[in-house]
Structure 1
């Protein structure tokens, strides 16, 4: 029997849900990147110390950690649709308030609040989108979310530099406040988004689920099709602690570890590109800026072939081979820190390109490996663990460059990435072509659908 959601044709409705969800990733990239553009003018006017500068940059990541943990669970308890809109209002208000801050404490608190809202969106948006997508397009569409992050980061650089060029150092207030514009746009666009029928069924709200399904699918939402979907979403009474028991513990460990181990070097390289390239003596003229821009572009471009491979080759081969290939350029950089500029740049570009596989899987594996009752909770936990990696990479990289040098620092990054390969090789399952209910079920060891062999 054809499954109502899993086997549905990809429609304008699915495209709209994707674009609305991608808005959260756009804002994440925008808000995390805009600080780097305006930090100089902000520091001058507010007379920030070095530690205060670090806190301004880090508090959004701390907020992401808290938001993912807290609102992932809340989303599984009260639903996706309500929170899908509310937290963007928080981002808009906090962004406008940033224009009027009078000191570092106010700014740090606002950045923390923004981070909490962004962390919430990871859990809310990912869960909602995955529960609406047909199985044939689920991997590709979920993977495209990370590309919205890079678009947002690029937009932040363009807007920030344009404002600085026009207004000078005082532009930082307007640059931070500019995030309110896309936040308001996406808030308005998200109003009226239907609740996930999978979540409604898992909570026993069958009449509401039927109304939503009929609204979206029309005549295809027959009583038989709805009954079949309902049988897949029987409530099991799962809670957060279930993610740390039995088979789900293995999946929680896999998602958290591969996400964290991937993002430690990636976030450090993305955030400190010019600094790292300068350590490799690529600092003449605009060399480090141009090199950083090229590396950033390759992070985006690397996602494109990965989006195809994820459906043609599968999730497991993509993540295993991507981690293996990411290790190679980092080892070369670590062993040959005095290599010619072309070799250094090629290695960084290679790392950025190969990182496309794990990057798109950040949004796929957490939503496929856990059932509806705890899906947003699992995404929130994965997000929280990954932000530990982001904060660690951001904080430790400058220290490593200063105290042990660029070569050993690159080798440590290679070691972290190698651990990502080991985790993926050992724990990564294959979920390509599976219905969402099948992928998220705890399968017997001989079930080929979720084999790690």
Structure 2
């Protein structure tokens, strides 16, 4: 009977589980949870705050835009001395003014492609040295052909800096700070133009002042070289080239060891083939035409600002230079609130409203060229102030809408395409002013801005708050186009 009781006890009693497998199961579950938490809580470059070093990258990368605004605007003042000194015709004056834009056209396309091949850092330094060198050579020009050549090569390297510097800024800047950082590029352009007007005003009465004006570009080149020397290569570009160890080292140095570098696709063997995919072609067409409509009137006003001010009866000589300086100041001031409106209002709404108000200012100037001085200044101010948003987007959109491995190439092509129009417009502006007067010229500018408005209504994307991976995708998850 005792044996039966023992057997019944063994049957009725549940087996005691082995403690070791149970502990392993708990640890495995805990590990899964920990991994999920880690994945959820991971910190990327888009999550960090703007540090002093990131601001330094933005500041000194923006220097190329400062140089662009400086060298482009200063030639308008310098031409007031160069034309009588060399006895130039309107055709030669236009050629000198347009030569830098031809160079920019070449430089943006070639510079963007080379930058995607060899990196942002190397090109970042080369272009500044070249701009300084050709600025010095322009001082010793003895005829118009030498000035045209020097200005052309200055344009090549200024144009190359567009895709170099803006790609670097976009690839280092967290998403929520991108509009402000790229706004610094636009503001730097206008600051360079405003400083150029001040330098031109100061040197206007000096004998051979034009030589000092053109040679003075060496000073910002030297300052920018010092500031750029310790800025590292873009980690996103390094990762796209398979140089993951170097990319990790840059992230550790700039962002910290707790920041992850999102995986990047390998750089394509034929980057131009990537850009020929339907979605990217559509984006390049939109950007090329939009930027053309944005910059053609602006470049014409800056390059031949004194002549335009005279045509509106705002004085001659130094008085005309002061009028151009006032307009330049409106451009600069307008870019500051636009940096923040791009985040609060969004890219697309700000673009559409700004283009409409810009066109209104130009229409007043075109329809009423004999208006009182106060009306002329107010109309120029309306156009210039609201150029801030589109001015930033001409740098921001190209960098947001294309992937890292072809970003600089795409920026170069889009901006280079737009420069075809600026070359023609800048060459034709003095000729058109002489043939038709300032009113029709302003109406033509207004028509371009209205074309940009219509195109943007149908094609402008909204990219606010998205990572570069999201905005550059063309599978429906990115910025997209249209409303």
- What TM-score, normalized to structure 1? 0.91
Match among 133, 152, 159 for residue 93 of structure 1: 133
The corresponding residue for 1:245 is 277
Moved more, 174-183 or 301-310: 174-183
In structure 2, the residue corresponding to 1:362 is in which secondary structure? Answer: helix
The corresponding residue for 1:406 is 438
Are positions 1:67 and 2:107 aligned together? yes
Shift of 1:341: 3.4
Shift of 1:157: 2.7
CA 1:174 to 1:333, structure 2 compared with 1: closer, same or farther past 3 Å?
closer
Moved more, 396-405 or 129-138: 396-405
CA 1:12 to 1:399, structure 2 compared with 1: closer, same or farther past 3 Å?
same
Are positions 1:254 and 2:294 aligned together? no
- Conservation of the 8 A alpha-carbon contact between 1:34 and 1:156: yes
Moved more, 209-218 or 43-52: 43-52
- Conservation of the 8 A alpha-carbon contact between 1:370 and 1:440: yes
CA 1:185 to 1:336, structure 2 compared with 1: closer, same or farther past 3 Å?
closer
* Residues in 1 aligned to 2:87 and 2:363: alpha-carbon distance in whole angstroms: 40
Shift of 1:205: 1.1
The correspondence of residues 351-366 of structure 1 with structure 2, limited to 5 A, is 351-366=383-398
The corresponding residue for 2:251 is 213
The corresponding residue for 2:55 is 15
Are positions 1:120 and 2:160 aligned together? yes
Structure 1 vs Structure 2 CA RMSD: 2.3
Shift of 1:28: 1.2
* Residues in 1 aligned to 2:316 and 2:222: alpha-carbon distance in whole angstroms: 41
* Residues in 1 aligned to 2:225 and 2:388: alpha-carbon distance in whole angstroms: 29
The corresponding residue for 1:132 is 172
* Residues in 1 aligned to 2:473 and 2:411: alpha-carbon distance in whole angstroms: 16
Shift of 1:73: 0.5
Are positions 1:388 and 2:420 aligned together? yes
- Conservation of the 8 A alpha-carbon contact between 2:97 and 2:303: no
CA 1:402 to 1:369, structure 2 compared with 1: closer, same or farther past 3 Å?
same
Shift of 1:164: 4.3
1:158-177: CA deviation from partner (whole Å, max 9, x where unpaired) = 33333444xx2223223222
CA 1:284 to 1:97, structure 2 compared with 1: closer, same or farther past 3 Å?
closer
* Residues in 2 aligned to 1:156 and 1:336: alpha-carbon distance in whole angstroms: 29
In structure 1, the residue corresponding to 2:49 is in which secondary structure? Answer: coil
The corresponding residue for 2:447 is 415
- Conservation of the 8 A alpha-carbon contact between 1:27 and 1:149: yes
Match among 217, 225, 250 for residue 179 of structure 1: 217
1:178-197: CA deviation from partner (whole Å, max 9, x where unpaired) = 21122122123212321111
* Residues in 1 aligned to 2:423 and 2:57: alpha-carbon distance in whole angstroms: 30
- Conservation of the 8 A alpha-carbon contact between 2:294 and 2:449: yes
Match among 345, 349, 361 for residue 313 of structure 1: 345
CA 1:121 to 1:341, structure 2 compared with 1: closer, same or farther past 3 Å?
same
The corresponding residue for 2:232 is 194
In structure 1, the residue corresponding to 2:46 is in which secondary structure? Answer: coil
Shift of 1:284: 8.0
* Residues in 2 aligned to 1:442 and 1:262: alpha-carbon distance in whole angstroms: 25
The corresponding residue for 1:57 is 97
* Residues in 2 aligned to 1:370 and 1:121: alpha-carbon distance in whole angstroms: 18
- Conservation of the 8 A alpha-carbon contact between 1:264 and 1:392: no
CA 1:60 to 1:215, structure 2 compared with 1: closer, same or farther past 3 Å?
same
Are positions 1:105 and 2:137 aligned together? no
- Conservation of the 8 A alpha-carbon contact between 1:66 and 1:119: yes
CA 1:97 to 1:331, structure 2 compared with 1: closer, same or farther past 3 Å?
closer
CA 1:55 to 1:23, structure 2 compared with 1: closer, same or farther past 3 Å?
same
1:70-103: CA deviation from partner (whole Å, max 9, x where unpaired) = 1100101111111111111111222222233333
- Conservation of the 8 A alpha-carbon contact between 2:365 and 2:376: yes
- Conservation of the 8 A alpha-carbon contact between 2:201 and 2:321: no
- Between structure 1 and structure 2, the one with the greater Rg is 2
CA 1:380 to 1:182, structure 2 compared with 1: closer, same or farther past 3 Å?
same
Shift of 1:43: 3.8
Q: Paired residues, what number?
A: 443
1:279-320: CA deviation from partner (whole Å, max 9, x where unpaired) = 344448976544433222111111122111101011111111
CA 1:3 to 1:387, structure 2 compared with 1: closer, same or farther past 3 Å?
farther
CA 1:44 to 1:339, structure 2 compared with 1: closer, same or farther past 3 Å?
closer
- Conservation of the 8 A alpha-carbon contact between 1:238 and 1:374: no
